[in-house]
Amino acid sequence: MILRLYAAAASLAPPILRRMLRRRAASGKEIPSRLPEREGISPLPRPAGRLIWVHAASVGETMSVLPVLHALAGQAEILLTTGTLTSAILAQSRLPAGARHQFVTLDVPAWVERFLTHWRPDAAVFLESELWPNLLRGCDRHNIPRLLLNARMSASSARNWRLAPRAAQTLLGGFSSILAQSAEDAARFRALGGQVREWGNLKFVCAPLPADATALAILSAQLPGPAWLAASTHAGEEPICAAVHAALLARFPRLITIIAPRHPGRGGEIAALCGHAPRRALGQKPEPGKIYIADTLGELGLFFRVTPFAFIGNSLVGFGGHNIIEPALLARPVLAGPHLENFTEAAALLRDAGMLRQVTDTAGLADAVASWLAAPPDGMAAAACFNGVSQLPQRVAGLIMALLP
């Protein structure tokens, strides 16, 4: 009943969704020429041969599944769908040769049907918590086997699912396998009727973020004094980082604080907040004693390399944290707020190794930054935390290939 009501409501939503998409396009969050993809309309033909459709919501999920896509390359055609502009830009540069990217259709039954009829995937792979009812039921109607990778479910989501056990069984029980991120996630999916495997977390085996060698040499030369990085920050965290910078200038007068916001489009707003700080997107250089706004796409690996440690955002404002594994893979210790619910297992590994320090406020972050600027920990222990699951992408690729006819 709940799924039928949801489908009925979604069928009435297109006028509202189209207005929403136009507003997003006007604000730079969608590509106007590609809005038809959100309605299941594709300008690309369906390639001949077996096709694997992989859906990843945004940048984090896309990064985690890229090693799997490269392991699949040459064995089948690949279609990757994502839901954000930043993930689409990432896909353009990181997908294996021949793989295609589309924006995912919104969860309207008619649009889902149009998408599936056009692409006719032989298998569907969803990442983490992308459990859109009409997309999943559409796969079942078309007899498309489906797999859930790196699955995660919070305690609150599990409680909500338990209120609708039949819907949970229909949607979760329809996956041929659910590969859970952690033991806690596995237990929650099993309790709801899922066929669960515990093979490890794909985010642990992401390739280290790349960096252009020339850009790295130039930026390194532009950072003569102490520097630290606040990466993937959200609104509310930049003022804290600015306050930390101000508090530490007396001790480190040439300090450069690099702020790399999660959404680079906020660069101008953050620069104004930080006393008209120089911005990388405008070609400006870092200046000793000032904050530097790293508001470009695809350069986070560069900034991790030029700083001895990193604070990872979305953790002080309380939304679950961003990827603390990315700096660790580059041998960089991690600072974070108390909210790392999206990375509990990785946080435990880094904490046990002394490579993660969590803080709760401005004073705590200032103390931690000052301590690590004075004596940076040896980050090799951070990289060592994630050395044990290097074959996981190939193993997952084999499981996906086994779904194909």
Active site amino acids: 61
Backbone φ and ψ of 238, nearest 5°: -60, -40
Return d(Cα 259, Cα 283) in angstroms, integer.
15
User: Nearest-CA neighbor of 151 among 114, 212, 97, 192?
Assistant: 192
The structure tokens 């040439």 sit at 254
The residue type found at 371 is: S
Return d(Cα 211, Cα 302) in angstroms, integer.
5
Beta bridge partners of 180: 151
Neighbours of 114 (CB within 10 A): 17
Return d(Cα 317, Cα 279) in angstroms, integer.
24
Return d(Cα 242, Cα 61) in angstroms, integer.
29
The structure tokens 């699951």 sit at 389
How many CA atoms does the CB half-sphere of 274 hold within 13 Å? 33
Sheet with 356-358: list strands edge to edge.
291-293, 256-261, 227-233, 310-312, 334-336, 356-358
